[in-house]
Amino acid sequence: MNICHVNLASGFSGGERQTLQLIKQQVSEGYQLTVVMNPKSALVDEVRKLGCNIILAKHFTAMHSKKITQNCALIHVHEGRAIYWALIQHLLYGIPYIVTRRIDNPLKNKWLSNLAYRKAAALVGLSREIVSKLEERHPSNKIFKIPSSPVSYPVDEHKVEKIHNEFRGKFIVIHAANMLKHKGFDTTVAAAKILGISNPRIAFLLLGDGPERNTLEHDARGLTNIRFMGKQSDMGSMFAAADLLIHPSYSEGLGSVILEGIVAGLPVIGSNAGGIPDIIEHEVSGLLCEPGNAKQLAQQIDQLERDKILRHNIKTGAKEKLKQFDIAYTATLYKDIYTKVMSNSL
């Protein structure tokens, strides 16, 4: 099966890793793939290793020709700007496209966005929350729910040992994300203030960078139980060194880092927001806290630090939950949609 994937993001964050995960799986299944990408993205180097046909486009108006997609069954869009690239290709050459939406923000009510979504053969949301947003704006479209699949990372045992030595005797809690307002780092800092008094065994490592970092560091002044570690290139070692992952976002499409943490064997606390409850069933596959509730988050971290049985139980439950996110399974769900689009049964 020939598919054209499009992701025009310039970075290499969760959405690009999820795009890569699906591409790798499809290559292993014998798909012939064309991938349209931004030349600034590290995704290019990763896809180049897989032997796919690569098209580099700096903007959604660039690199349009019939030749690019003439042998493709359809275009699969993976991020916001890419939908306009697919729309142009569709209008020029009639190639159908589907859209995977990864964020839970309300959809823009603008004519070009409305046109691009309306012309799609199918829309896919990663979570129930995203699907509901799609249904609100585009009720006449065919809409499906297919979650992301977890990415695993290599582990450097020497780095893990170094972290353990540096934080010897500590219960290491990590919060890993771009430091944006909606990621809930302010809640983490507030929880660290509470636990700095009540449970000095807990150490918070904040992984990431972004526009909120200066404000967060200012708010954390004087705290000895929190460390700003910056953006990480070795997440596998950080997961392996940690005891707990927290992700108290105010909004979240699904939460790919939660899946990554679970694959690495970590118990997880996430906020009851966006698509996170699709992964975390409270006290079964993790713990849920209310967004912005630092006191509740601190209590849950303290509870998990003290209760080894609870940690074991939710890690076991999370491992069972992961079956719903297996890449072979989710790739099959996409294949079903591709087949329906190709047969015009949608």
Q: Are residues 130 and 172 in the same domain?
A: no
Pairing of strands 2-7, 32-37: parallel
The enclosing domain of 246 has a CATH number of: 3.40.50.2000
Summarize pLDDT for 35-63 with one digit per residue, the tens: 999 999 999 999 999 999 999 999 999 99
Q: Tokens at residue 51, please?
A: 């032997």
Tell me if 204 sits within 8 A of 225, measured CB to CB. yes
3-state DSSP call for residue 176? strand
Q: Are residues 167 and 142 in the same domain?
A: no
Q: Across residues 175-204, what is the average pLDDT?
A: 97
Separation of CA 59 from chain center: 23
Q: Tokens at residue 126, please?
A: 């990663």
Q: Across residues 95-101, what is the average pLDDT?
A: 97
In this prediction, residue 163 carries a pLDDT of 97
Q: Tokens at residue 145, please?
A: 């729910």
Tell me if 193 sits within 8 A of 223, measured CB to CB. yes
Q: Are residues 163 and 106 in the same domain?
A: no
Q: In the predicted model, is pLDDT for residue 214 greater than 90? A: yes
Q: Are residues 278 and 312 in the same domain?
A: yes
Q: Are residues 301 and 166 in the same domain?
A: yes
Model confidence at 78, in pLDDT bands (50, 70, 90)?
very high
Summarize pLDDT for 126-168 with one digit per residue, the tens: 999 999 999 999 999 999 999 999 888 999 999 999 999 999 9
Q: Are residues 7 and 145 in the same domain?
A: yes
Q: Are residues 238 and 313 in the same domain?
A: yes
d(CA 299, CA 27): 45
Q: Identify the bridge partners of residue 6 per DSSP, sorted by sequence position.
A: 36, 77
Q: Tokens at residue 142, please?
A: 């065919």
3-state DSSP call for residue 20? helix
Of the candidates 145, 229, 241, which has an alpha carbon nearest to the alpha carbon of residue 185? 229
Identify the domain containing residue 104 by its residue range: 2-149+326-342
d(CA 161, CA 299): 28
In this prediction, residue 151 carries a pLDDT of 86
Look up residue 205 and give its amino acid.
Answer: L
d(CA 18, CA 259): 11
Of the candidates 15, 82, 64, which has an alpha carbon nearest to the alpha carbon of residue 42? 15
Q: Read out DSSP for 226-286?
A: EEEEES-S-HHHHHHH-SEEEE--S--SS-HHHHHHHHTT--EEEESSTTHHHH--BTTTB
- Domain count for the chain: 2
d(CA 191, CA 180): 18
Backbone angles phi, psi at 39, to 5 degrees: -65, -15
The percent of residues above 90 in pLDDT, for the chain, comes to 94
Tell me if 172 sits within 8 A of 192, measured CB to CB. no
Q: Are residues 202 and 94 in the same domain?
A: no
Beta-carbon count within 10 A of 342 CB: 14
Q: Are residues 167 and 306 in the same domain?
A: yes
CA-based angle 207:39:152, to the nearest 5?
Answer: 40
CA-based angle 223:196:283, to the nearest 5?
Answer: 125
d(CA 76, CA 338): 9
In this prediction, residue 13 carries a pLDDT of 84
d(CA 13, CA 293): 27
Q: Are residues 64 and 115 in the same domain?
A: yes
Backbone angles phi, psi at 122, to 5 degrees: -160, 150
Q: Tokens at residue 11, please?
A: 């970075």
Q: In the predicted model, is pLDDT for residue 212 greater than 90? A: yes
Is the full-model pTM beyond 0.85? yes
In this prediction, residue 67 carries a pLDDT of 96
Q: Are residues 82 and 92 in the same domain?
A: yes
d(CA 268, CA 266): 6
Q: Are residues 279 and 292 in the same domain?
A: yes
In this prediction, residue 345 carries a pLDDT of 67
Summarize pLDDT for 287-340 with one digit per residue, the tens: 999 999 999 999 999 999 999 999 999 999 999 999 999 999 999 999 999 999
In this prediction, residue 48 carries a pLDDT of 96
3-state DSSP call for residue 52? coil
In this prediction, residue 346 carries a pLDDT of 67
Look up residue 128 and give its amino acid.
Answer: R
